[in-house]
Structure 1
Amino acid sequence: MNFLSDNIVGASAPVLQALMQANDGAMPAYGGDDITKRIKARFAEIFEHEVSVYLVTTGTAANALALSSIVPPWGLCVCHKEAHVIDDECGAPEFFMHGAKLAGLPGVGSKLTAASVSAYLEGLPKAVKQMPPKALSISQVTESGMVYGLDEIAALSAVCKAHGLSFHMDGARFVNALVTLGCTPAEMTWKQGIDILSFGATKNGCLMAEAIVVFKPALAEGLDYRCKRAGQVTSKGRLIAAQLEGYFANDHWYDNARHANRLATLLSDGLSQLPGVRLAWPTEANEVFPILSKSLDQALREGGVQYHPWTDVSLPAHESVGADEALVRLVVSFATREDDVRRVLEIARSAASRQAAE
């Protein structure tokens, strides 16, 4: 029963089928094939907007290259202090930005607010000794499993416009957020002021397929060359595009995300009903963050449940993790079986009953 992440499972059947179909025969290399042309047109349909699309193999590449296109070497990119771009990518964004820096701000649930970002920007010195802010990056879904609402994105966009910043979204779990909000891709991105998107698909059914989606043509200038220099213009690029064709076909990507979100809610509801268990943050997508007793944590692990401990940095002010408690993260994927979720809950209920009887 593995709940370590949603990137530990393989690809879904429609993605693999599309990949096998694209594998036959010879096609032009380096994105000159018809499959790549089709998928780029499909992105424009999905987002209801003319877009520039760059297919890459990893989310780190998507984030680093996207940010490098909007932040000059002397610039500053603002993000949450726990954002993937600053905390989990070994400095790749700063490397590809050629010396530009990331500034991490605090925020409950790993979320930034318009007020906190505005206050930070207004407090920066304007002298040449200070790197000027050039971009804002948010994670959708956040590292604490929370989803930015459309009004929150729009408010952050207004701050960006007021200060001349480009607005980037790290959408590693993009469609999980769409399912939660019940909105369209356009409504969650450019209609709220997003300029450039790291579009994630690997966590939701692809083998290794991500994309940089640019809504402002001026920001796309040079991205072809940046991708090439980063080793992300692959000779057999059709095999990335084919994954995305299978992913998008018949709303398969939505089906996968609905499944993951639904089972995360089932797991969250079941755990939060147990005595002594509470949620660090609401379950808004496919990640669950319970605070539980160390004895229950041990019982789950001994029962074969795998998951990660988590940080309490972004807890609400009224919340804390006690000395005899643990904050953990369980992630549900498109491939998670409902039986496994119910088995986790059985183990947890049984352990809670034993502890109550002692």
Structure 2
Amino acid sequence: MQFFSDNSALVHPKIMEAIAKANHVDAAYGADKWSAQLNEKFGEIFGAEIIVHPVSTGTAANCLALAAMTQPYQGILCHEEAHIVVDECGAPGFFTAGAQIIPIGGDGAKINPHMLTHIISAIRDDVHQVQPACLSITNASEYGMAYTPSEIRELADIIEKNNPANNGRRQGKIGLHVDGARFANVVAMGNYSAAELTHLSGVDALSFGCIKNGGMNAEALIFFNTDLAKASEYRRKRAGHLHSKGRFMAAQLLAMIEDDLWLENAHAANHAAQIIASACGDRLLYPVQVNEIFLRLTADEAQKLRNQGFDFYDWGVNGARLVTSWHHSPADVTPLANAISDLGEFQAS
């Protein structure tokens, strides 16, 4: 009855089983047989040569990726409501030793290409202004909106057009990072492949979410631009995310992608969200594309739902966020859908 977050979800039994199977003596610090398979197995999903660094949090995955692309005196372009801005306690600045966030607007927490063009083209090529080193997007966005490959490519083309390497004293390519905490849910929509949503659209690095999708404490930082990975090995160690018993993290990640468990779990969460969305009508603040539902609720209506045993986050004034998880069956979410339907049409208090 809790719809706070997919971070609260159960660990999938196959993940627990994989952890148990890894519980015997093996080499440490990523030299074990599970870690040795990560590049190949994930590479099969993306159809590319990649390097995978297991880390234990999404914040670490995001910020190690950003640190691989960004010097302390440079900037990180991202949406003004991105997780790295509002939910990571300044971690990007900490991991990059001081890089500045350059916020950009856009509906549904997706970057508006025109705003990106305006902001990046207005940055003077001189020592007095912070030069952008990377662009970070979230797919699905903080409001559950998915970027398509063409939208990602449009953003990639904008930053390439303003590539510092082509411009006087600016140095280096502007990198493109994807915060994919719910990347599985986007792929599970069935419209585009993992490859189309990443390296084929110009993405250099992806934070591949596992924990929200049934994992315990493992995320995958995936480098498509493998030149970035070498220095990141040292940054990962320095940041305390090179685990001595990394086999337990690698085992989780391998179990997640084996037999497409990552897509099965994400599809179940998406389907549960659609059942709830079908009862919301004009209460929906955004179209429901993945496993997040943002809807209009007065304070009295929210309390009425809570009195029936449902719980969720309030989202501003007269708003709420509901998140479904891999283990939510139709039977689990139908009572909530019925309760929302029983509220009738939304009328602001």
Q: TM-score, normalised by structure 1?
A: 0.91
Aligned to 2:80: 81
Q: Tell me how far 1:191 sits from its aligned partner.
A: 0.1
Q: Tell me how far 1:44 sits from its aligned partner.
A: 1.2
Q: Tell me how far 1:80 sits from its aligned partner.
A: 0.4
Aligned to 1:218: 227
Q: Tell me how far 1:351 sits from its aligned partner.
A: 4.0
Contact 1:113 1:152 in 2 (8 A): no
Contact 2:135 2:176 in 1 (8 A): yes
Q: Say which of 261, 267, 278 aligns to 2:270.
A: 261
Aligned to 2:328: 336
Q: Percent identity?
A: 37
Moved more, 113-122 or 343-352: 343-352
Contact 2:46 2:194 in 1 (8 A): yes
Aligned to 1:10: 10
Distance in 2, Cα, partners of 1:86 & 1:349: 35
Aligned to 1:50: 49
| 1:268-347 matched pairs, under 5 angstroms | 268-272=277-281, 277-311=282-316, 326-347=318-339
| 1:123-272 matched pairs, under 5 angstroms | 123-164=122-163, 165-272=174-281
| 1:12-51 matched pairs, under 5 angstroms | 12-23=12-23, 25-51=24-50
Q: Deviations over 1:79-98 (max 9, x none)?
A: 00110011100111111111
Q: Tell me how far 1:298 sits from its aligned partner.
A: 1.9
Q: Which runs of 5+ in 2 are unaligned?
A: 164-173
Aligned to 2:102: 103
Distance in 1, Cα, partners of 2:275 & 2:192: 22
Contact 1:299 1:347 in 2 (8 A): no
The count of corresponding residues between Structure 1 and Structure 2 is: 337
Q: Deviations over 1:203-255 (max 9, x none)?
A: 00110111111111222231111000011110110000101121111111111
Contact 1:57 1:208 in 2 (8 A): yes
Coordinate RMSD, CA, aligned: 1.6
Displaced runs of 4 or more, over 4 A:
none
- The 1:181/1:74 distance shift into structure 2, 3 A limit, reads farther
Q: Tell me how far 1:40 sits from its aligned partner.
A: 2.3
Distance in 1, Cα, partners of 2:228 & 2:315: 36
Q: Counterpart of 1:187 in 2: which secondary structure?
A: coil
Contact 1:58 1:210 in 2 (8 A): yes
Q: Tell me how far 1:41 sits from its aligned partner.
A: 1.4
Contact 1:287 1:329 in 2 (8 A): yes
Q: Tell me how far 1:340 sits from its aligned partner.
A: 2.5
Q: TM-score, normalised by structure 2?
A: 0.93
Q: Which runs of 5+ in 1 are unaligned?
A: 312-324
Contact 1:16 1:246 in 2 (8 A): no
Q: Counterpart of 2:176 in 1: which secondary structure?
A: strand
Contact 2:275 2:337 in 1 (8 A): no
Q: Counterpart of 1:185 in 2: which secondary structure?
A: coil
The one-letter amino acid of 1:341's match is V
Q: Counterpart of 2:22 in 1: which secondary structure?
A: helix
The one-letter amino acid of 2:283's match is R
Q: Deviations over 1:307-341 (max 9, x none)?
A: 11124xxxxxxxxxxxxx61110000001232221
Aligned to 1:316: none
The one-letter amino acid of 1:42's match is K
Distance in 1, Cα, partners of 2:48 & 2:14: 26
Distance in 1, Cα, partners of 2:332 & 2:344: 18
Moved more, 183-192 or 287-296: 287-296
Q: Counterpart of 1:152 in 2: which secondary structure?
A: helix
Q: Tell me how far 1:181 sits from its aligned partner.
A: 4.7
Moved more, 90-99 or 335-344: 335-344
